[in-house]
Structure 1
Amino acid sequence: MRSRLSAVCRYEFRMQIRKQSLWVSTAGLAVLIAVAQGDRGPRHLPIGAGAAEVMASWALLFSMLLPIGFGMVLADRLVRDQRIGAASLLASLPARTGALVAGKYAGSVAATAVPGLLVLLVAAAGEFAHRGDPALFGWAAGAFAVVLLPGLAFVAAFALVCPLVMSAPLFRVLFAGYWFWGNMLGPNYLPSLTGTLLTPIGDYPASWLIGGKALYAGDSGWLSFLRPEPGGGAALLSVVLLIVLASLPLAFAGPLMTRRTSS
């Protein structure tokens, strides 16, 4: 079972990492948000700012837009298997549907994580040029792991599974609307998940690394019990909750794939 899961994961990784759309969307969105950052962006942090604060700020900045590109790229992955007949071929393999789903999910997350990490390392290199602190590279990897990666895992789960019950174009539209409503719309404007432990933008982990409120984490609003004060415990809880939420659509992926294949 483990070897089959690993084989599916490697196959999916190779398929995704070669997609030009993944690299073009990541680079385009990263450049856009880096250029458009306001005077509160990481580029304007004082020269004496610590490496953790600098790279957490960059990670949060990229997390505002990069997951949108990742979700768009992954939205047709399982559906395309159905369309080109690969789903029937995969179903004939001596592996359970759950293992196939897990392998595809792990491979997709790993493939989309590569350009996300590279973007942060490029930002670290730019910061190193005028800060001269080699710790920036270590904190780039750390900030990626706790700020960007949990949100990416969350987005990938829904992007892979939701198009099994709705069209991929409809999912992309709804996903883009959700992303801005649930991550960047201040809770003082409309009831929103922004600023809660459930925001995959990585607000709580970034706030923990920065040592203060990064964006909206903990702001008063709807679902106040999900808005604790930022800190290490809250950051860990946010990451755990996102992983748990990501597992929910994956639990339904197998039956949905089986039903579509047989219909």
Structure 2
Amino acid sequence: MSATLGTTEGRADSGNLDIDLEELVEDIATAMAKSRSGFGIFIDEMQDLDDELLDARISVQHMAGQKGWPFFIIGAGLPNLPGKLSATRSYSERLFDYRTIGALDHGSAADAISLPMNQRGAHVDTDALRALVTAADGCPFFLQAYGKAVWDVASSKTVNLDDARLAIEIGTEQLDAGFFRARWQRATPAERQYLRAMADGHDEASSTARVASRLNRAASQLTVARSSLISKGLIYAPDHGAVRFTVPGMSGFISRQFEE
């Protein structure tokens, strides 16, 4: 006795990412459109998507715009993300609406530290608050790190400057051990030398010619290291002939590595 099993060819199961993603989005989005709803994909650290997946998602977003599907990609990433999108698909610059999220201003940063503590019956004095806000330099993640540290170390409901200084020391050690070191370890020894030449005590953009001069090399000899660091998301090119760290505080971390 024998039996033959048949299969019914479906959709979004061809094994080809471009075709499958397009069919999946079409089916879901058109079904949701009937109830006046939409289909969205939210992507954090979008610059870390591999090239194939990024290309497929950009392509299907483009297709959705052409066919009127209620499908939207909402992504967040480092400053090198727009460049990576354009390098993947040149029309990306017209496809997406870019919003830059920079550092918090002094007042907002101070509120981020003080208001949660006030709600719990604690108070941060003026000098302590100024020290914490200055150390965080407007970076939300750093404010979280220093805010947690000062809450943990404060000996009373009134946070003073000594508490803030200890919290900054502890918070910086934790950032160095995790946030910064994870990025540093992604760089090769040659790339670390490039990063060190960029640092020079500041986080502002550096001229590629100046970096080359500090390393006593021709700029053309450093193209591979520069391109690799950009692809790894450690630096980006804000202007022609310039490079900058993708995260604030990286120069300080690098300086601390060579002080040890």
TM over 0.5: no
Larger Rg: 2
Q: TM-score, normalised by structure 1?
A: 0.22
The structure in which a higher percent of residues are strand is: 2
Structure of higher RCO (CA pairs closer than 8 Å, 6+ residues apart): 1
The structure in which a higher percent of residues are helix is: 1
Q: TM-score, normalised by structure 2?
A: 0.22
